[in-house]
Amino acid sequence: MNKDLRDEINRLHAHVCSGLADPIRILILYSLAGSKFSVTELAKTLDIPQPTISRHLKVLRDRDIVAAEREGQSVFYSLRDHRIIEALELLRGVLAGSLENQGILAQSAAGSPISEQ
């Protein structure tokens, strides 16, 4: 099989997909879909310890999925590319379809965005 393709998919996984491999990180991304937030705000909103949030933000930062900018003592995080939310919305649609097929009604329809503030 094509080695370039394999390489690109390895990059795709290493740089992007592995960033989505934890529910807390997905929560963070959805939180940032509408506007930027500081670490403390995220920790408070999500009710998750600050060091845990920081560690996950580092994962997202290392993959260039989020951007960090300091404002005074706070560091505000934002999404670098909104397409990551679009991708998650598609995957939500996949989930909804799968639950439908199982006869279990998905709690919210796949079309309605989960956040956007």
Interface residues with a copy of itself (CB under 8 A) are 1, 4-18, 20-23, 26-27, 30, 45-47, 63-65, 80-81, 83-84, 86-88, 90-95, 97-98, 101-102, 107-108, 114-115
Question: What SS3 state is found at 79?
Answer: strand
Helical H segments across the chain, by residue range: 3-15, 23-31, 39-46, 50-62, 83-101
- Please report whether residue 33 would count as binding DNA according to CB under 7 A: no
- Please report whether residue 99 would count as binding DNA according to CB under 7 A: no
- Please report whether residue 34 would count as binding DNA according to CB under 7 A: no
Number of neighbours of residue 17 by Cβ within 10 angstroms: 13
- Please report whether residue 46 would count as binding DNA according to CB under 7 A: no
In the structure encoding, which two tokens stand for residue 53, read together?
């949030």
